[in-house]
Amino acid sequence: MRRTILLAGLSTITIAIAGPDAFGQEEFKQPGVTTESPAPATNPDALPAPSSDLDYRTVPIPDRTRIVDALGVPDDPLNPYRQSTLKGDRPVFDDWYVELSAVTDTLYEARAVPVPNDTVVANDKTGNDQFGKPRQSFFSQTLVPTFSIIKGDTTFRPPDFEFTVTPAVSFTHLGVEELGVVDIDPAKGRERNSGFVGFQEAFIDYHLRDVSDRYDFDSVRVGIQPMNADFRGFLFQDEQLGVRFFGDRANNRFQYNLAYFRRIEKDTNSGFNDLSKPLRRDNIALANLFVQDLPVTGFTTEFSVVENWNDDTGQHYDTNGFLVRPAELGLEEPHKYNVTYLGLNGDGHFGRVNLTESFYYALGHDSLNEISGKPSDIRAFFIALEPSIDFDYIRLRGSFLYASGDGKPGSGTEGGFDAINENPQFAGADSSYWIREGIPFIGGGGVSLTGPNSVLPALRSSKDEGQSNFINPGVLLLGVGADVDVLPELRISYNANHLSFNNTEILQLLREQGNIHKDIGWDLSTTANWRPFDTQNVIYRMSGAVLVPGQGFKDLFSSESSDKLYYSVVFDVILAY
């Protein structure tokens, strides 16, 4: 049995070809199958057969990254699982590499959400004039290519230099049954087509220094870059303009981030960065420290301090003509706030039990309470836990989330917890009806009860373009779920969550409606993820969710439509190169 051993040097590669007895083993012979060596190769460039049990041949190479060239491995740029210069497997020149990737996301959703009737043209005279027909259809096509230039050997250490740019192209179509939903102008009809091109990444990453022989390092990144303040996107997950210092210590046991961001305005319909508009007066400073194996081996703990000072005191209308700053809530007056989030987050396992936890305490000051018209302090907190355990191909999960609510609107303290820009990967994430859908707070102001991809009932005008609001009812979520790997390429997930408000005083005040109950209802969802090639390059995803309204939800949307089924059905195809 022949064996080939590669011994790489600085400028050559030595190939040792071993004969059948070189390692003291007999040639394996299968009955009925000949094991005679094939005829000698006629290729003049092929390595000659060994003349002894172990024969060496030396082939010159320019450097260690081009070993594959010396061995004759072809460059295959169209296949990301083979050697490709476009994937950074081989340098373009010297130690400079290029990485190119692209993702397309095609999504269709049919849904039913509470919507208001247009105040000018009510198209259903027989129903309740305040609530309209809930059915909607949504289509989205997104292309996100990423191009990177990288210097340095990144196999064992961070890059010396990296430049990355990620444009994003989006087309969306929304169809509804009511006027005044797709645009502030009812004359725009019941359908909206929108296209947009933005930049989600455009940064330079510079390696400042190595601080140990294990490549503990310090680096700085400047430009539009992704940032997630915690493990599950509870507080701040976005791509924003900023500067970030980051690195690690003690053989990567400690990792740190020190960052500052100035938020870019968003396009309303795509959610992408809109560089054609001036920067917002919304600033975020972040410092966190990750410690591996704390308190036990296999668990990582994060300590964080996040500061958000917002001075968006002017008026701002979104792409569709709706006022988002200041929010149409209470006094509708411009205001600014400064809030500090103290966070303790963790992710890992204790033996067989997996656990993700998140805790934040928010304290700060608001220049104007929209209810009382006076300055207020901010004191609110948030906690989330997700324990899980694996049994062969099944993972069972539990979900607990509590966000404090404001029990005394108009007092000197705002007690409802709100995030900066949340994107929670929790309790079913965007397959959950409550988290996925934006539910308008009809009849109590031009705000939403919840925004898209949000778990907090923050009563904000917009998650992307509006301001945080700490006068909100808060929420309690209790849930169970399971991930079942039916096949290696097919996973089915189930989630059942019960939701309730923590305080309904602010809802009653804004709606001028007494006795609004806390029970929101049951959120039931199922998701199927199919990866036909066992890779992330082709993903088919289908999900279905329903909200079974509780008494509190019926109190808020007490028309004939509130007794109908609120649902979301999503078909999604993701292709990646």
- Mind listing the pLDDT tens digit for each residue in 452-472? 999 999 999 999 999 999 999
pLDDT score, position 563:
53
Q: Which of 119-123, 146-150, 436-440, 514-518 has the lowest mean pLDDT?
A: 119-123
Least Cα distance to 305 among 339, 337, 260, 340 occurs for 340
How far, rounded to the nearest angstrom, does the alpha carbon of residue 205 sit from its chain's CA centroid? 21
Burial annotation 3-27 (CB, 10 A radius, 16+ → b, else e): eeeeeeeeeebebebbbeebeeeee
Write down the pLDDT at residue 22: 41
pLDDT at 199 over 90: yes
Segment 137-175, tens digit of pLDDT: 999 999 999 999 999 977 778 899 999 999 999 999 999
Neighbour count for residue 320 (Cβ, 10 Å):
17
Rounded CA-CA distance 543/280 in Å is: 35
Q: Quote the pLDDT of residue 514.
A: 85
Which pTM does this prediction carry? 0.88
What DSSP string runs through 376-440? EEEEEEEEEEEEEEEETTEEEEEEEEEE---SSTTSSEE-----SB-----TTGGGSHHHHS-EE
Q: What are phi and psi of 148, to 5 degrees?
A: -130, 140
What's the confidence (pLDDT) of residue 155? 73
Structure tokens at 351: 């033996």
- CA-CA distances (angstroms) from residue 163 to 166, 205, 375, 422? 10, 6, 44, 27
What integer pLDDT is reported at residue 58 of this predicted model?
A: 61
pLDDT value at residue 32: 43
**More confident position, 46 or 545:** 545
Predicted confidence (pLDDT) at residue 64 exceeds the cutoff of 70? no
**Strand 135-151, strand 54-60: pairing:** unpaired
Nearest residue to 227 via CA among 215, 245, 206, 210: 245
What share of the chain in percent tops pLDDT 70?
85
For residue 4, pLDDT beyond 90: no
Query: What pLDDT does residue 498 have?
Result: 98
DSSP conformational letter for 371: T
For residue 501, what is the enclosing H or E element? strand 490-501
**Burial class of 373 by CB neighbour count within 10 A (0 to 12, 13 to 18, 19+):** exposed
283-294 pLDDT tens trace: 999 999 999 999
The pLDDT of residue 81 = 79
* Per-residue confidence (pLDDT) for residue 80, from 0 to 100: 73
**Cis, bond preceding 326 (omega within 30 deg of 0):** yes
Query: Residue type at 340?
Result: T
Grade residue 8 by pLDDT with cuts at 50, 70 and 90: very low
Note the pLDDT of residue 28.
36
Q: What is the mean pLDDT of the chain?
A: 88
Range with lowest mean pLDDT among 16-25, 209-218, 301-310, 436-445: 16-25
Whose CA is closest to 432, among 487, 479, 372, 380?
479
Residue 576 and residue 526 in contact, taking contact as beta carbons nearer than 8 Å = no
**Residue 185 pLDDT > 70:** yes
pLDDT value of residue 36: 45
Question: Residue 547: pLDDT above 90?
Answer: yes
Tell me how far apart the alpha carbons of residues 271 and 144 are, in angstroms, rounded to a whole number: 13
Query: Please, what are the domains in the chain?
Result: 3-70 (no CATH), 96-576 (2.40.160.100)
Positions of E strands within 214-292: 217-228, 237-249, 254-262, 282-292
Return the structure tokens found at 268. 């309303």
pLDDT of residue 72: 77
**How large is the average pLDDT for residues 274-280?**
95
∠ CA 229-235-236 to the nearest 5 degrees? 60
pLDDT in tens, 311-369: 999 899 999 999 999 999 999 999 999 999 999 999 999 999 999 999 999 999 999 99
How is residue 120 written in tokens?
Answer: 């000018």
Distances (CA, A) of 574 to 134, 148, 250, 490, 577: 28, 21, 38, 15, 10
Length of the chain in terms of residues written: 577
Helix (H) or strand (E) holding 556: helix 551-556
Q: By mean pLDDT, which of 197-206, 384-393, 441-450, 492-501 is the weakest?
A: 441-450
Task: Quick: pLDDT tens for 74-116.
Answer: 888 878 778 888 988 888 888 899 999 999 999 999 999 999 8
Asked if 456 contacts 439 with a C-beta cutoff of 8 angstroms, the reply is no
The closest of 387, 548, 404 to 471, measured between CA atoms, is 404
CA pair distance 555, 545, nearest whole angstrom:
22
